[in-house]
Amino acid sequence: MRRPAPRTLRGQLTAGLVALLALACLAVGITTALALRGFLVGRLDEQLSASGGRFAASLEHEAEPDADNRPDTRGQAESTFGARLVNGSVTQAAVVHDASDRSLPLAPGDRRALAGVPADGHGHSIRLSALGIYRVTAVQGDDQDTLITGLPLHPVEETVHRLEAVEAALFGAALTVTGVAGALWVRISLRPLQRVTARAAEVAGLPLASGEVAMPGPLPDTDPRTEVGQVGTALNHMLGHIEDALTRRQAGEERLRHFAADASHELRTPVANIRGHAELALRHEGPVPGTVRHALERIEGESQRMTCLVDDLLLLARLDAGRPLGQEPVDLTLLILNATDDARAVGPGHRWLLDLPEEPVAVTGDAHRLQQAIGNLLANARTHTPTGTEVTITLTADRTRVAVSVSDDGPGIPEELQPEVFGRFVRADHARSRSTGSTGLGLAIVHAVITAHGGTVTVTSRPGHTTFRLTLPG
């Protein structure tokens, strides 16, 4: 299985460093091996030239019976080869062995190889079947014959191979040490970049969407003369701009919260007065024209709706400001039973089902706000689903978490609306009549209340199945 290439910058730099060093070692090894081989072969050629072909020339008298005419092996190195050619044919061939000559049988290929050696006095390499690779020179003899003298190349090859083995061991050790030292050096060199990465990851993990955000401080030791220092300087500038933008956004949100809280508080009294005067006028004992009564009824209805809107805005403003909620034991099972009874009374055309554990489930929190959150979910299911829809309320609990799910088999929430369904004044149907009394704040209140309790709220929806899930600490 092929190993994957390193993907980290540290791994790539270390691998690149080792690869470059390996190429340099390979080039040095090949160069030194070729140079040594050329030097040794040159020395071999010098020995052949210095021998003057004496051993090959003495082969001319090998066939004579006089003992004094035996081949001259004096001063000849062990395994020296000699051959005499007449008219391109080998007549005698011998090799020095134990300070004496030994006749050498030649194969047809050997004879052809010897016949092809030019008589130029230079060294040439040939392979003899009985001896191996030899370095030979050929010169013209006194009798118009060709005299060939050769020395084995085996010692040269052994020396070169020994050098290659030593170089391989040394270069291998050097690559190992360089790889380890290079990895440490690259790691130390990239520490500033790691700090930049860690700081960027820290900022990426911050909840920048809303609320007050504590930005981390700038990176220290950002040297603009280095590439990593330039990245760190750019990141510091970016963090400064982000912090400034977040500060301005937070200030704007605070002003908006104060305005919503102040406006809601100031509107409660005149809205209550309008509603009271409308109710008083409707209780007038004398005759009231039909159009006037209708107008008064509309004023009373709209004032009731305005009262709900003001109360919801005031509640959201208080939750946004971090006002503490009640912290008391709440029987969540009883709360769900009461909320379901209320929903069943208001929406008798829906089928309301309960899936509760046998034992009561209790949490710590604000009973009134939790009742309001669950009631808003049931009202949302009733308002946005047709008559006959089945709504199931499920309560589950374990050692650490308590979950309440409200599911229905209605038409579902449009997919493009789901990411912002808990926003304020978000409506599934922007063109629908206001007669339903919806303010677009119900799910926003659910999210704010559950978040204030340290929990979460999520939604999953598709045609035929929608589930809102509240999760609270157990």
> Residue 471's pLDDT band (boundaries 50, 70, 90)?
very high
* Residue-level pLDDT at 287: 77
Asked if residue 93 has pLDDT above 50, the reply is yes
DSSP code string of 176-237: HHHHHHHHHHHHHHTHHHHHHHHHHHHHHTS--SSS---PPPPPS---TTSHHHHHHHHHHH
* Residue-level pLDDT at 277: 72
CA distance 338 to 461: 26
> Residue 306's pLDDT band (boundaries 50, 70, 90)?
confident
Enumerate the H helices of 283-321 as residue ranges.
Answer: 290-320
- The segment with the largest mean pLDDT, out of 10-24, 142-156, 160-174, 192-206, is 160-174
* Residue-level pLDDT at 65: 45
> Residue 263's pLDDT band (boundaries 50, 70, 90)?
low
Mean pLDDT is lowest, of 24-38, 306-320, 377-391, 453-467, for 306-320
* Residue-level pLDDT at 350: 93
pLDDT single digits (tens) 164-173: 999 999 999 9
**Residue scoring higher pLDDT (336 or 303):** 336
Give mean pLDDT, residues 172-188. Answer: 88
pLDDT single digits (tens) 125-160: 999 888 889 999 988 887 788 888 899 999 999 999
% of the chain at pLDDT higher than 90: 23
Asked if residue 283 has pLDDT above 60, the reply is yes
Mean pLDDT is lowest, of 113-122, 268-277, 351-360, for 268-277
3 state DSSP class of 76: coil
Asked if residue 192 has pLDDT above 50, the reply is yes
Residue 197 Cα to chain centre, angstroms: 13
Asked if residue 18 has pLDDT above 80, the reply is yes
* Residue-level pLDDT at 36: 92
Torsion of CA 61, 66, 69, 74, to 10 degrees: 140
* Residue-level pLDDT at 261: 64
* Residue-level pLDDT at 431: 40
Asked if residue 66 has pLDDT above 50, the reply is no
The domains found in the chain, sorted by start residue, are 1-50+155-189 (no CATH), 52-152 (3.30.450), 203-323 (1.10.287.130), 326-473 (3.30.565.10)
Give mean pLDDT, residues 107-132. Answer: 89
Q: What is the pTM of this model?
A: 0.49
CB 159 within 8 A of CB 65: no
> Residue 26's pLDDT band (boundaries 50, 70, 90)?
very high
Dihedral-angle region of residue 211 (phi above 0 means left; psi in -120 to 50 means alpha; beta otherwise): left
Which residue shows structure tokens 């209340």?
Answer: 449
Mean pLDDT is lowest, of 118-127, 281-290, 435-444, for 435-444
> Residue 368's pLDDT band (boundaries 50, 70, 90)?
confident
* Residue-level pLDDT at 227: 75
* Residue-level pLDDT at 210: 64
Q: What does pLDDT average to over the chain?
A: 81
CB 468 within 8 A of CB 410: no
% of the chain at pLDDT higher than 70: 84
CB 448 within 8 A of CB 319: yes
pLDDT single digits (tens) 441-450: 788 888 888 8
